[in-house]
Chains A and B, each alone.
Chain A
Amino acid sequence: MIVLNIRGVTKSYTSDRKCVLSNLDFTLEKGDICAFIGESGTGKSTLLRLIAGLETSDSGTIILEGKTVESASKFVAAEDRGIGFVFQDFALFPHMSIKKNVGYGLAKSQDKMARVSEVLRMVGLVSHGDRYPHELSGGEQQRIALARALAPNPKLLLLDEPFSNLDTALKSQIRNELFEIIKATSISCIFVTHDARDAISLAHKIAVLDQGKVIQMGTPKVLFDQPFTPAIARFFGEINIFNQEDFQHFDIELEKADFYGIRPEHITYSLTPEKNRQAAVIIGETFHGLWRKYRIKLSSQIELDLMIDAQVLIEGKEIFVTLNPAYILRFQKKN
């Protein structure tokens, strides 16, 4: 079942008349977790706010569970859409206790406190109900923000850059905890992030936004293995890009493309000459913790990055490299 259907949505801001979203189409199946990724200013957060009803589009239609919530002739206010939203800075009401924050969206009923306890238990903070937001750590505030959004049983959950306000040390732990909770509720969810690691490890589906359009959508594996453009490929990690002419130096038979790419960790090397390998000289080295990245210059004058997990090479040393055809990515020029 389709939970969210977006058709031809366009949005520009009157201040600079810049088109943030341009004729965008998107659908989300029930129970799916989808990540919107893209550089800053590509319209990710704007799209989330349009879905929520916090902003209005210039044209296009947004349909939520079969009901039009925004079109040229209709606009359902954010408070009437039944969507949960976790804000980037959590936006917990500072003058209300945690219990009141979590219960704020629930109608007065006998079950209200039971539901508050239930969601607090779900996020593991049932003992924190009487505290105030400023008394909690960043990670705890994040979980309360999620509990508050989940309490009214929304049709769809939206998270705006949910991890950008957390310390790097805490981030991966909280990221996993948070999505365990979301997966347990089987709620349909969209989150936006500029960190591809969040998207790869958490989403069922990733949509890449560029200049106001979804330029590729698919499972994390599809996007990682078959990115449509060098820019998408770069989003998931470093990559060496060659044009057709440069690629011919490697003497590898592959279907024709305008550009080819290979990640630095997929370049094979040896210290002695071997068949079909090109000689290269190491011209630079950078330290990446467990990994070392080497800048190498091939005999054909092409420069590449090579990533290996040990410091076995030194600057000026000659090595022999080849590209593993299984890992070569092919890109076509945009029409």
Chain B
Amino acid sequence: MFSSFYDNAKIDKKWSLLTIAIVLLLGAPLLTILLKLFSGPGESWEHIKEYLLLDYLLNSLFLMFACSIFTLILGVIPAWLVSAYSFPFRKLLQWLLILPLAFPNYLTAYAYAGLFDYSGIYERIMVQIFNLDHVSHIDIMGIWGLAWVMSFSLYPYVYLSARSFFSHQSHGQMSAAKVLGAGRFKAFYSIVLPLARPAVVGGLLLVVMEVLGDYGSAYYYGVSTYTTAIFRSWFALEEPETAVYLSAQLCMFILFLIVMERSLRGGKKYQFNSEGSQELIKKTPKSHIQAIFMLVTIIPISLGFILPLIQIIYWASITFHEVWSTSFLSIVWSSFYLSMITAFICICISFFLIYAAKWSRSLIIQRLSTLPVLGYAVPGVVIAVGIMIPTLIFDKFLVNMTQYYLNWSMGFIINGTIIGLVFAYSVRFLAVSYHPIETSIQKTGMRFEQAAQMLGVQRWKRMLQINIPLNKVGLLSGALLVFVDTMKELPLTLLLKPYGIMTLSAKAFEYASDERIAETALPALFIIMTGLIPIFLLNRMMNV
């Protein structure tokens, strides 16, 4: 394979080799983890296997299934109602339903912990407004509470994919079912829902990946999952081998889920003609039914966004003077610049990979160049572990070399530095920028690039003068999405942030771990506000 690649004069070697180098670099953490699967765990593995593994496994599986069922109900039903029926405030509710996406799930978890605390808003309302003498305490701090909280935070993934399918792809099928005499409800469950399965499963896969990758919520709610186990092995047991081993298992499981989802989609290639892309005609039900539909759509918004937001705003108001300081501003600045750098790197790499694949004229390179998007499927904690191992070896090698040859003792370049952290963020979030950029390039097509090529203009000039300006919207949205995701990211930040640098997410986690839960509010508000920007844009894009 290598010789046929190298002997082929028509393959652009320079761009192909650069693509291979980037793919290897971005794939290194994942490769390290997967290879470590074969080198075995550390000493404490036997202990974990004996007493803890079943717990980790059952908890993770329970969360996965519970959240899948909850998000399915919370996502699909409102998606169908806003797509197929007309009722008051439908348009407003339709986009409010996406808002929980602005919350990283650990912040929703903190807010719920506060809401149902002994002196929390829920109990105070019951006592003060309803004059109840005795309020039975709702203990949310357990696995059921965690599943509830995460589902309300993550249902928008299912809602978005289902809504997009219902409103734009189901028109033709609905019309056909109606002509054949089926009612709206029958047409929904017998025709539209089965056809929407690939779209809904795609959304569910994102939910499952978030659930399995979560650390902040599970840690705070005291639920032991695979991810919390990886942290514990690394920090509490000080056994990186076991952490890596657990990471590899988690990684394999997620890759298995991706393959399953792809094969499920691949086996059922539904075709939708252009007529099917018309928007579904909305039916206006009787007024009491309209009221029920409104209520049904308001529930996920209230529980997923409004209630936690009220709790966080309340906390922010009582802790503002305590938290707001110059050091807090420096935390905001750190989060901001780390996210900016990551966003910039991600859009540069995505843009390069997409074009380099086209330039290389090699099918292998074209396939290879899409591999780094898999990084998004890998939990942050796994990527962090996968980066620590090879970078530690590299840094130690570099330190020894400079010591030996230059007699100069330098510090680590990647491990425990901003470079390492941004590298990890980039591995994790490349896909987030890759998809909008790829869509934009597909829309623009290659004709302008080729027109410039035929005018004798070289690559870098074409990039700067033609391809970047023509795809600037895709590049900006890619950058914005990475920016927001980097701001929210917790486990990876906790493991890799350099000493002396603090981010908003890590600060919120630190406050929560110190049982200063109210103080998490101000960093949380910053994260949520930034998270709202792409949601506005996303909603505008979906309505165009």
Contact = CB atoms under 8 A, between A and B. Distances in A.
Contacts, number: 66
A52 interface: yes
A104 B457 contact: yes
B464 to A, nearest CB: 12
Given A56-B361, A105-B457, A149-B454, 5 more contacts: A54-B450, A79-B454, A89-B447, A148-B451, A152-B456
Given A74-B9, A75-B9, A87-B447, A95 B470 contact: yes
Interface string A100-140: 00001100000000000000000000000000000000000
B453 interface: yes
A197 B12 CA distance: 40
A104 B453 CA distance: 10
Contacts of B454: 52, 54, 78-79, 83-85, 105, 149
Contacts of A71: 9
A93 interface: yes
Interface in B239-293: none
5 contacts: A14-B363, A56-B361, A79-B455, A93-B466, A105-B452
Nearest to A14: B363
A52 B454 CA distance: 7
B453 A93 contact: no
A17 B458 CA distance: 32
B300 to A, nearest CB: 42
B456 A91 contact: no
Contacts of B448: 91, 93
A23 to B, nearest CB: 18
A80 B469 contact: no
Contacts of A91: 447-448, 450-451
Given A73-B9, A93-B466, A79 B456 contact: yes
A80 B454 CA distance: 8
B390 to A, nearest CB: 35
Interface in B436-479: 447-448, 450-459, 465-466, 469-470
Given A14-B363, A72-B9, A95-B469, A79 B453 contact: yes
Contacts of B456: 79-80, 82, 105, 152
B9 A85 contact: no
Interface of A: 14, 52, 54, 56, 70-75, 77-80, 82-85, 87, 89, 91-95, 104-105, 148-149, 151-152
Contacts of B9: 71-75
A269 to B, nearest CB: 48
B10 interface: yes
B455 A105 contact: yes
B451 A152 contact: no
B179 to A, nearest CB: 35
A85 B458 CA distance: 16
A157 B390 CA distance: 53
Given A94-B470, A95-B470, A87 B450 contact: yes
Contacts of A95: 469-470
Contacts of B447: 87, 89, 91
B10 A85 contact: no
A82 B458 CA distance: 12
A197 to B, nearest CB: 26
A291 to B, nearest CB: 37
Nearest to A104: B455
Contacts of A54: 450, 453-454
A104 B450 contact: no
Contacts of B452: 93, 104-105
Given A56-B361, A91-B448, A93-B466, A75 B453 contact: no
Contacts of B453: 54, 77-79
A152 B455 contact: yes
Contacts of B457: 79, 104-105
A250 to B, nearest CB: 50
Contacts of B12: 77
B451 A87 contact: yes
A56 B10 contact: yes
B451 to A, nearest CB: 4
Nearest to A88: B447
B525 to A, nearest CB: 39
Nearest to A55: B361
A283 to B, nearest CB: 40
A73 B9 CA distance: 5
Nearest to B359: A77
Residue of B9, B465, B466, B470 contacting most chain A CB atoms (<10 Å) = B9
B371 to A, nearest CB: 19
Contacts of B465: 104
A332 B465 CA distance: 56
Nearest to B451: A91
Residue of B10, B452, B453, B454 contacting most chain A CB atoms (<10 Å) = B454
A78 B469 CA distance: 22
A148 B457 CA distance: 13
Contacts of B451: 85, 87, 91-93, 148
Contacts of B363: 14
Given A56-B10, A91-B448, A79 B469 contact: no
Contacts of A149: 454-455
B446 to A, nearest CB: 9
A91 B458 CA distance: 18
Nearest to A58: B10
A56 B447 CA distance: 17
B9 to A, nearest CB: 5
A104 B454 CA distance: 11
B470 A79 contact: no
A14 B367 CA distance: 14
